[in-house]
Structure 1
């Protein structure tokens, strides 16, 4: 080919291949979790479900997530960016369509008598009027404008996926904050129950001393943990108030909106059931992965645009205009004043100092960057899913062990309390047993909250129920990778 003159793109190609998700080893953690999905496949056609947080069965949490989606400022920002991208896509598409422009200039002029100006009509007043219609149709023989328009559309698709990713992040943040809110209530219940038990033991020690069978030391020992328990209770109340403020901010409201929040009523009995097709099905619903696919597609279009710049550009141009310089305004409308022109407009790069090669090389390098980011996103996505599955399963086993530890600690506390009330042991045994029981109960509450959070993290890692669009692009290298250089 000789259309590109002396310019050629030989040696300029992308170098980074995209990695297919199924080429990655999912690991035994995900493979072992997948059979449960096969058993549950008939019961649930889609997984994860779109409103995944409803598995916690807390209406207050449902209302908070809905309010956050409607009122959080980050959502309006993401929506505005998407509207901007769509408008830019429309602008790029307009460049592929014919244009018709009109211009007119109507003026009244006085011609000077000075010979310096060499006026045609010295000393006269005339109308100097012009009007033009210009029609321009880009043939776009090599697709530069079409690829540019499609690139803008692909970028809009990527921003749409980014907007969904922002929404998923917001949903996840609300759920996590609510789970921390719930944990503080659970810890407060433990702290209040502990304080009541400590007060009961103190009162019993005082009755023993009044009856002449106890000592002041026992009363002092029974009173010692009370201030510390009151401080712990106050700290928990502070954490609850801070959580109220955080939840109010997440739904885009002032701190007063958190005052109306009631005690959480979480009911959670969900189990993991992963899709049976691993790992492509796992990461195919993540909005960040979908966004990266669109960005690769958009960058492949950018390579095509730069490649098309090596070829001639041909437009069809037509114009019609009227011009009249006359003392009579109506002469402007006479057919004799109208002129027309029609023909192709051709531009061809001949010598441009390496600008085209540099532009194509930059576009190919940016394509490699996009592919590298996609590969990193795929690897990171699979690791996050495996981590959350592993954590969720481990926390389930830890809860079972913690339940046995609580049963043992409760029995030790009951025996120590019974021995103290009967005068068989001193209060130090009660304190030690109580401290052990309190520690195990707090540990259990935190484990329960961690397991609930791990489930939320897993849902987030899986894309939160985002359905993969039917037109989501496959990652393909741009045509330059198979192209021949222009000679």
Structure 2
């Protein structure tokens, strides 16, 4: 039995395809960040280091309330948007593997057999003949010698698209953590406002019953009675509206988590959330490394840059090889006998001569898409800079607003106490007491909103700075 041998003249060609390929893609250069060199406000890094928190810390170190941590864990496991993002990574990886396969020769084993009968009228002997043929071998099908880097550029573009998809999944991860936190905080704020409205309604109903008794004995006017009734019905309307809003917020949170919200720790008050508000903002240039959406934009820019190389290579000759090596015989038993070896070698050169401007149009298309990718990349940087700047600018003002609103609530409580004393001593009318009750309820509701605003600002800053992907808890 003879040994199968690859024709020796194919080896230099294969080596040339691997070693001498060049790339016609432009040299990639990251565009300059179109933002200022510093934020309008800065965060003292030393204060953050004292708290043991950095921008690379995990989300568990930012969101420390047990129920919120349980919600985030459940969302990361069951949220359909995050699951779809993970599947898109698998899709991009498969697409990259398909393109990468063109860098190496595709070999295939073949085996065939045939039997045919010739007509007697066409046979030289005047008799029909039955012939048989059998063939086995190894074939190389149209392997392109990538002298001008077309295949390699397509491979680089596919790889960059895959990496961009991976970064997009990280961006969805961070956004999901932030959205779950904000949805949970909103539900908690509505729960506190609903509880406040329920207690206010109970208090006003008691006051209304007392006013009714006073009216029946002639100690108060019908105007006082109707004013107390208005307060009761207003509190009832507020309670109903807050109950509806809380139910809708709970449904929105359930949708984000992707499963029923059971088996979780008891919820805590807004004041007990312990969300870290002091995060190191660093410099705007740090966002290029922190934010996955910006990194994804840069990978898409790399893909567009590589596509230009593939479009340029289309103007040059394309050389491909088709080869085969095997054995053929008219008898199956003699398929591997001496003298049955066969081989074929078919190089092909394709030189574009006239394509009605197709290659030029394709090159123009890739260049335009590259410019679009540059614009999108720069816009993502500008959007990130604005998000961080807005969160930093709002932080100090929100803290002051919450502190001031807390003082307003204290003052309104004292005002109501004084108004009730004045009314009992006959110095003031019931209208003064009713007005103080209305103002106190409004101030307490505003205080809950201010506390929610302070917490959501911390969440916004967490997301704007690139979040934290680690799940290891700090404690």
For the aligned pair, the TM-score class normalised by the smaller chain equals 0.7 to 0.9
Task: Assess if the C-alpha contact under 8 Å between 1:111 and 1:119 holds in 2.
Answer: no
- Single out whichever of 234-243 and 338-347 deviates more from structure 2: 338-347
1:18-417 aligned at under 5 Å gives the runs: 19-21=31-33, 24-25=35-36, 30-34=39-43, 36-41=44-49, 44=52, 46-47=54-55, 49-51=57-59, 54-115=61-122, 122-135=127-140, 138-206=144-212, 208=214, 213-215=219-221, 217-253=223-259, 257=261, 262-266=266-270, 267=272, 268=274, 270-276=276-282, 278-324=283-329, 326=330, 328-342=331-345, 344-417=347-420
| Distance (whole Å) between structure 2 residues aligned to residue 238 and residue 45 of structure 1 | 38
Aligned residue number for residue 482 of structure 1:
none
Q: 1:203 to 1:142 in 2, by over 3 A?
A: same
| Distance (whole Å) between structure 2 residues aligned to residue 91 and residue 240 of structure 1 | 49
Q: TM-score, normalised by structure 1?
A: 0.82
Aligned residue number for residue 465 of structure 2:
462
* Residue deviations 1:288-310 (CA, integer Å, cap 9, x gap): 10100001111111111122223
Q: 1:61 to 1:362 in 2, by over 3 A?
A: same
Task: Assess if the C-alpha contact under 8 Å between 2:67 and 2:264 holds in 1.
Answer: no
Q: Aligned pairs, how many?
A: 443
Task: Assess if the C-alpha contact under 8 Å between 1:198 and 1:225 holds in 2.
Answer: yes
Which ranges in structure 1 are unaligned for 5 or more consecutive residues?
1-11, 468-487
Query: Which of 456, 462, 472 in structure 2 is aligned with 1:453?
Result: 456
| Distance (whole Å) between structure 2 residues aligned to residue 73 and residue 259 of structure 1 | 20
| Distance (whole Å) between structure 2 residues aligned to residue 309 and residue 347 of structure 1 | 10
- Single out whichever of 329-338 and 84-93 deviates more from structure 2: 329-338
Task: Give the C-alpha shift of residue 375 in structure 1.
Answer: 1.0
Q: 1:228 to 1:408 in 2, by over 3 A?
A: same
Question: What SS class does the counterpart of residue 67 from structure 1 fall into?
Answer: helix
| Distance (whole Å) between structure 2 residues aligned to residue 45 and residue 219 of structure 1 | 57
Query: Which of 420, 429, 449 in structure 1 is aligned with 2:423?
Result: 420
Aligned residue number for residue 4 of structure 1:
none
Q: TM-score, normalised by structure 2?
A: 0.84
Task: Assess if the C-alpha contact under 8 Å between 1:283 and 1:381 holds in 2.
Answer: no
Q: 1:40 to 1:72 in 2, by over 3 A?
A: closer
Question: What SS class does the counterpart of residue 339 from structure 2 fall into?
Answer: helix
Task: Assess if the C-alpha contact under 8 Å between 1:48 and 1:459 holds in 2.
Answer: no
| Distance (whole Å) between structure 2 residues aligned to residue 235 and residue 179 of structure 1 | 18
Question: What SS class does the counterpart of residue 346 from structure 1 fall into?
Answer: strand
| Distance (whole Å) between structure 2 residues aligned to residue 303 and residue 64 of structure 1 | 45
Question: What SS class does the counterpart of residue 109 from structure 1 fall into?
Answer: strand
| Distance (whole Å) between structure 2 residues aligned to residue 179 and residue 292 of structure 1 | 31
| Distance (whole Å) between structure 2 residues aligned to residue 111 and residue 316 of structure 1 | 35
| Distance (whole Å) between structure 2 residues aligned to residue 380 and residue 461 of structure 1 | 9
| Distance (whole Å) between structure 2 residues aligned to residue 39 and residue 138 of structure 1 | 60
Task: Assess if the C-alpha contact under 8 Å between 1:33 and 1:273 holds in 2.
Answer: no
Aligned residue number for residue 6 of structure 2:
none
| Distance (whole Å) between structure 2 residues aligned to residue 45 and residue 263 of structure 1 | 24
* Residue deviations 1:130-167 (CA, integer Å, cap 9, x gap): 33321365442222222221221111000001111122
Task: Give the C-alpha shift of residue 31 in structure 1.
Answer: 4.5
| Distance (whole Å) between structure 2 residues aligned to residue 70 and residue 195 of structure 1 | 41
Aligned residue number for residue 471 of structure 1:
none
